[in-house]
Amino acid sequence: MPRYALKIEYDGTPFSGWQRQADQPSVQGAVERALSQLESDVPSIAAAGRTDAGVHALGQVAHCDLRKDWDPFRLAQALNYHLKPDPVSVVACARVGQDFHARFSAHERRYLFRLVSRRAPVTHDRGLVWQVGHPLALAPMQAAARHLLGRHDFTTFRASLCQAASPVKTLDALEVSENPYPGGAEFRFHVRARSFLHNQVRSFVGTLERVGAGAWAPEDVKTALEARNRAACGPVCPPQGLYLAGVGYDPDPFGDG
């Protein structure tokens, strides 16, 4: 059976997350329903990561096996037709070998978190950003983020129900930038690692927001990390500002470099 890699973007607001659930809408369920309109008895698809309820994606990757030898462009167009009106889109499709696996072949995952600081409620980005009503300072957040880079035991920033075998991960990048936003400012957190613990990125951002607000000093993040204790973490921020921005493969099946 030919195997295809799908690059998928979605607005996670109406979904219970990526993973299929019997009684809740899911992104996986939406894609599999679209596939079932093209071929019956399509096997379950696999994805690079299971995003939580309310989390979005710009570059989620999944793979599927089909009986028909589809032209990748036509397959993407057919899926997008059957995905309507769900806020899910296949933005790229590629034929891959049987040794490709969306999850296990990935060598990195990239996340984006959008945090808006302004008093007036957001309108156009409602549900797509986390908004706080107080100002934030960029430089202290950047200084605090540097304490998290590298290989560490991230127990402090790990959800209590996380199923990962080990809390030790290597964080390759955590970059914080400030961008103009009408009536305020938008802070973007770009995070990159081979893999992440459950709620790790949201725990990072919630903690760094406390630094930006002046409630924590940058060195407090280092102390929290070294505590290896979930109770030492700052607040976990809400999911709506989080995006799975991309997944890295070598070679990249979509030719993105």
Query: Which residues are part of the catalytic machinery?
Result: 52
Can you tell me which residue has the tokens 């493969």? 249
Pull the structure tokens for residue 84.
């309507």
Nearest to 115 by CA among 137, 138, 131: 131
- Number of Cβ within a 10 Å radius of residue 41: 6
Beta bridge partners of 94: 5
The residues, ordered by sequence, that sit 6+ positions from 126 with a Cβ below 8 Å of its Cβ are: none
Please state, in angstroms and rounded to a whole number, the distance separating the CA atoms of residues 88 and 91.
Answer: 9
Please state, in angstroms and rounded to a whole number, the distance separating the CA atoms of residues 121 and 104.
Answer: 41
At 59, phi and psi to the nearest 5?
-155, 45
Beta bridge partners of 108: 248
Q: Could you give the 3-state DSSP secondary structure of residue 210?
A: helix
Please state, in angstroms and rounded to a whole number, the distance separating the CA atoms of residues 40 and 66.
Answer: 9
